[in-house]
């Protein structure tokens, strides 16, 4: 099958590309390398260095005629979305619409979208189910929810789609600087014997899911005849302070964080109920945090 992956040079997208190629698919990667890295690219993938907002997408779709599209390209930094919501919307909404219009015109069979548990906002109850009130509190998850709504429209135009609401994804290839995830940032700081920054009191919680599990969920979504929205997570809460302790323990270090004020737009607690994905996609996580962190640290060191 011919499959197009946006963000295929990025953290999650590159792992997904590798998996699809191992499974025998022909993969086209579209990535502008703003945060993606060339070294992440699978040599067997056909690569276009193109922004999802670009009109060049039209030529790529006409030439390649993909049957399935995975949309993993995005502006992912919550802080940047708060500082510049217009730039955030241009990429995450207008870029996604550019992609969706090309999917519609090219009669793509399945569209798999990387959404976010941020669409729920601060949870009223845990674990969060897909039926929970949708109340995003920053521009980044607002853009994700917007595309979920657009997908309902495109579904009526014949484009079958699945939205996967990811919590905090971690694993090899996640950068430890800039827009990197908190696990990668902590690992990078501890390895350098530097004190990582914890925003707030460190008691805020996140559901950490390993990248290999996320990739497996995406593949199951592609193979499923169903459309819909699914939480992907572990149904476990981990405080940010405990995450740092686990990393320090794994690395044999004893480093205290620097505490700074909480940041605007970030929720206090998160834990995802993945029972719908388990029932309908036959998916569940295989990695616990200990195993996932060990593999991530091993990759970072070696």
Give the residue carrying structure tokens 């690219």: 41
Contact 167, 119 (CB under 8 A): no
User: Which of the following is catalytic: 48, 120, 140, 274?
Assistant: 140
Q: How far apart are CA 59 and CA 102, in angstroms?
A: 9
Neighbours of 275 (CB within 10 A): 15
Structure tokens at 39: 């070294």
Q: How far apart are CA 289 and CA 150, in angstroms?
A: 34
Q: How far apart are CA 27 and CA 173, in angstroms?
A: 19
Pairing status of strand 110-116 against strand 26-30: unpaired
How far from the centroid of its chain's Cα atoms is residue 284's Cα? 17
Return the half-sphere exposure (C-beta side, CA atoms, 13 A cut-off) of residue 178: 8
> CA quadruple 121, 126, 130, 131: dihedral positive or negative?
negative
Q: How far apart are CA 262 and CA 235, in angstroms?
A: 24
- Tell me the H-state helices in 202-301: 211-223, 240-251, 275-280, 289-301
Q: How far apart are CA 196 and CA 113, in angstroms?
A: 32
Give the C-alpha distances (Å, rounded to integers) separating 29 from 43, 98, 294. Answer: 11, 16, 29
Q: Is position 140 annotated as part of the catalytic site?
A: yes
Structure tokens at 74: 């995005």
Active-site positions read 140
């Amino acid at each position: 099958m011919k499959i197009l992956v946006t963000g295929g040079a990025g953290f999650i997208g590159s792992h997904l590309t590798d998996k699809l190629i191992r499974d025998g698919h022909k993969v086209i990667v579209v990535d502008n390398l703003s945060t993606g890295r060339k070294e992440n690219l699978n040599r067997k993938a056909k690569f276009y260095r193109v922004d999802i907002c670009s009109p060049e997408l039209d030529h790529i779709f006409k030439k390649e005629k993909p049957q399935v599209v995975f949309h993993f390209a995005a502006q992912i930094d919550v802080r940047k979305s708060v500082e510049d919501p217009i730039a955030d919307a241009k990429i995450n909404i207008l870029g996604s619409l550019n992609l969706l219009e090309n999917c519609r015109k090219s009669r793509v069979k399945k569209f798999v979208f990387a959404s976010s548990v941020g669409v729920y906002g601060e949870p009223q109850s845990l674990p969060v189910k897909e039926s929970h009130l949708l109340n995003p509190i920053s521009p980044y998850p607002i853009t994700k929810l917007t595309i979920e709504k657009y997908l309902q429209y495109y579904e009526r135009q014949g484009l079958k789609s699945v939205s996967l609401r990811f919590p905090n994804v971690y694993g090899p290839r996640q950068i430890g600087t800039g827009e990197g995830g908190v696990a990668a940032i902590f690992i990078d700081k501890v390895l350098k014997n530097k004190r990582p920054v914890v925003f707030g009191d460190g008691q805020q919680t996140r559901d950490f899911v390993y990248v290999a599990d996320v990739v497996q969920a995406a593949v199951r979504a592609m193979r499923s005849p169903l459309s819909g929205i699914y939480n992907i997570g572990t149904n476990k809460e981990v405080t940010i302070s405990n995450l740092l302790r686990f990393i320090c323990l794994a690395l044999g270090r004893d480093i205290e964080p620097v505490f700074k004020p909480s940041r605007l737009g970030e929720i206090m607690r998160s834990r995802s109920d993945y029972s719908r994905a388990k029932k309908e996609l036959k998916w569940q996580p295989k990695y616990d945090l200990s195993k996932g962190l060990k593999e991530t640290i091993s990759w970072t060191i070696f």
